[in-house]
Amino acid sequence: MGAPRHPLRPLRRLMRGACLALSLWLPGAAAGDITDAYYDAPTTRYAHGVLGDDVEYGGLVIVSDQDREGTKASTDRHRVTVRLPQDHVFEDIAPRLVDLGDGMQAVMVVESDMQLGAQLAIYNALGHKLAETPHIGQRNRWLAPIGAADLDGDGYVEVAYIDRPHLAKTLRIWRFVDGKLVEVAAGKGLSNHRIGWDYIEGGIRDCGQGPEMIVATGDWRRVLAVTFDGKGLRSRALGRYSADAIKRAMECRLK
């Protein structure tokens, strides 16, 4: 089983009108190291329910450490909250902290437009959207992230997800380069989520031979390890599908 959906913690085009509510942020402060991120402002305004309930989120809280004087002793913790417009929600399990290379930290999320469906979006520590994929193009259409890594060893980070894991079942890989996400590969017949699950299975592992994406076949019969070499995708079967097989694969106990 993948990571379960996180409960709410105790409680200009790219932003599409999203406003930033800043707290504990000093004027002129630069972005620090992102240490945590979580969703806020639960809402039922988007009744898709693909993750097992009708609650999504209208806010994203990004927590970072701001080193004001170059010493660990002077590190302060700051929070920035991204508030989405009323026609958007975060339709996701939990935000993911990712390294985009050269120490550039960011938060990767699934953001859905109520008419155009889901997109993968990346925010920085200041709550600014760095990059995004296009929306799928239709309401109630979703994507399930796999992860982010330099999949082909070229020095650029790729992000991977399954586009419509219940319908199109298409793995898509986008490279973050020059501040944009550029699609570099796609492959059909794969999935990592079933309707109603509050978790996403699989992810990216490295068992010593480089990054591999662990997913299921679209018919849920086999577990696959998928690699990207910069030109295309290659997959190999690891065994029959089960939740335990996915878990063992991610732990490098199934090769």
For 57-73, the DSSP string reads EEEEEEEEEEESSSSGG
Q: What is the pLDDT of residues 147-204, one digit of tens each?
A: 999 999 999 999 999 999 999 999 999 999 999 999 999 999 999 999 999 999 999 9
Q: How much is the average pLDDT of 56-81? A: 79
pTM of the predicted model as reported, rounded to 2 decimal places: 0.86
% residues pLDDT > 70 (the chain): 84
Position 3 pLDDT exceeds 90: no
**Whole-angstrom distance, CA of residue 213 vs CA of residue 203:** 6
Q: What is the pLDDT of residues 82-135, one digit of tens each?
A: 999 999 999 999 999 999 988 889 999 999 999 999 999 999 999 999 999 999
Q: How confident is the model at residue 80 (pLDDT cuts 50, 70, 90)?
A: very high
